[in-house]
């Protein structure tokens, strides 16, 4: 069995025999086989909508419609709910259901009234679903900042699942959501904080969530793409939990970044390996093959795309592997070393590609990010591997006319 191959490609194999003493035979005759096209991959397309986008980013649910993105999406993950005290809790009630929208800001051109029970993003998402009846919306729980409570949740999964059900199915907005997404960063491993709940904790938690939400709600999870030996994929029983999820969003981005302030510069979302990659196995295909190898069906794995780039400053070398002096400045001061695609495409245009993604060197800055062209290649990979679809973080990083989501939609078919 040979995995990770490209579609419509010929591969030639020879074998040699080796005995117990280490003696080798000559090469056998060669055999050539050609892979078929496609791979039966799915065309599901999910985007994250972040609640804080309504503040400095000035990105609202209406923009999902006016950019053309809503017509291309099959699913939206609304991010995030908190996990305080080991329970699902609303993280930002103002953005979620209190902020008032005027007629001009509203999806359907009807403004909010002071006394309506649900305003904010939830009400706008309700209007978006009315306009796009096939669109499914999941409430995403946790994320990098709010995963700390999962440790306590793992001690009583049934109570956690009950709290999540009550939050998602709150009578005020139950019609908005079609399920729940668990974004635990990371079970039995370290993210912003470290979890030591054990390798079975994630499976037990997902089983409890599925039992409470039942078969008619979507239950998904965003999971690590660290496929290194003894890494984050190995730390938790993702294969055992797979039976309880509709799919996994594999976070195949953020492999490298300016947290390594002096470099070496490296693309944050390589699809394949390349000479000089700073950490062996830190690339998307490696993670996908590892998850497949654990027995997770390809149809339950979705490939992740970042609608942003990661960059360094103090860089003189154009090719990856250069030294740096720190993170490049981004649009938002609280996020150095990160910027949106919509900014980078003109601020630091991509000049070359490596490992299926793109990078640019402008002045003393070096940025890596995906472009419509590299996204096309990644969507071809997703189809060829038989994956269920693809997803991206997050909607506000795209151009106002949705360049990146269009490339994803075109690539998935």
**Per-residue b/e over 344-356, b at no fewer than 16 CB within 10 Å?**
bbebbebeebbbb
Q: What angle do CA 239, 241, 242 make, to 5 degrees?
A: 65
Half-sphere exposure of 392 (CA within 13 A, CB side): 32
Say how far apart CA 351 and CA 306 lie, in whole Å: 18
Say how far apart CA 143 and CA 121 lie, in whole Å: 18
Half-sphere exposure of 319 (CA within 13 A, CB side): 5
Question: DSSP 3-state assignment of 190?
Answer: strand
Task: Give the β-pairing of 179-183 and 136-142.
Answer: parallel
- Placement of tokens 């979507």 in the chain: 218
Of all residues in the chain, what percent are helix, strand and coil, respectively (each to 5)? 30, 20, 50
Going by the DSSP 8-state scheme, the letter that residue 371 receives in this structure is -
CB atoms within 10 A of CB 90: 16
Give the residue numbers marked as catalytic: 185
Say how far apart CA 237 and CA 256 lie, in whole Å: 25
Say how far apart CA 141 and CA 160 lie, in whole Å: 11
Hey, which bits of 166-272 come out as E strands?
A: 179-183, 218-223, 247-250
């Amino acid at each position: 069995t040979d995995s990770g191959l490209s579609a419509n490609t010929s591969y030639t194999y020879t074998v040699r025999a080796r005995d117990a003493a280490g003696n080798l035979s000559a090469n056998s005759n060669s055999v050539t086989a050609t892979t078929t096209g496609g791979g039966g991959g799915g065309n599901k397309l999910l985007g994250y909508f972040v609640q804080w986008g309504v503040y400095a980013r000035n990105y609202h649910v209406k923009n999902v419609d006016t950019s053309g993105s809503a017509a291309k999406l099959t699913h939206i993950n609304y991010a995030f709910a908190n996990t305080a005290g080991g329970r699902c809790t609303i993280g930002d009630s103002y953005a979620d259901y209190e902020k008032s929208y005027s007629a001009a800001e509203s999806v359907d051109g009807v403004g909010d009234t002071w006394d309506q029970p649900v305003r904010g993003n939830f009400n706008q998402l309700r209007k978006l679903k009315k306009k796009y009846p096939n669109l499914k919306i999941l409430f995403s729980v946790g994320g990098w900042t709010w995963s700390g409570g999962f440790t306590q949740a793992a001690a009583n999964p049934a109570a956690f699942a009950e709290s999540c059900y009550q939050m998602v199915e709150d009578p005020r907005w139950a019609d908005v959501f079609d399920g729940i997404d668990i974004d635990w960063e990371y079970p039995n491993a370290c993210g912003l904080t470290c979890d030591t709940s054990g390798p079975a904790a994630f499976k037990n938690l997902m089983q409890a969530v599925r039992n409470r939400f039942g078969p008619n709600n979507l239950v998904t999870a965003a999971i690590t793409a660290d496929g290194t030996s003894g890494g984050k994929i190995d730390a938790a029983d993702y294969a055992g939990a797979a039976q309880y999820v509709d799919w996994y969003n594999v976070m195949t981005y953020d492999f490298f970044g300016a947290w390594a302030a002096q470099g070496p510069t490296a693309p944050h979302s390589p699809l394949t390996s390349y000479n000089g990659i700073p950490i062996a196995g830190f690339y998307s295909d490696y993670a996908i093959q590892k998850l497949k190898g654990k027995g997770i069906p390809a149809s339950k794995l979705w490939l992740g795309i970042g609608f942003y780039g990661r960059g360094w400053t103090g860089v003189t070398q154009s090719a990856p592997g250069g030294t740096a002096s720190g993170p490049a400045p981004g649009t938002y001061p609280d996020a150095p070393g990160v910027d949106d695609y919509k900014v980078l495409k003109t601020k630091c245009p991509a000049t070359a590609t490596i490992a299926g993604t793109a990078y640019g060197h402008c002045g003393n800055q070096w940025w890596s990010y995906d472009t419509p062209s590299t996204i096309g290649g990644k969507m071809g990979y997703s189809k060829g591997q038989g994956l269920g679809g693809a997803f991206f973080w997050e909607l506000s990083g795209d151009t106002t006319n949705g360049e990146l989501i269009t490339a994803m939609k075109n690539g998935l078919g």
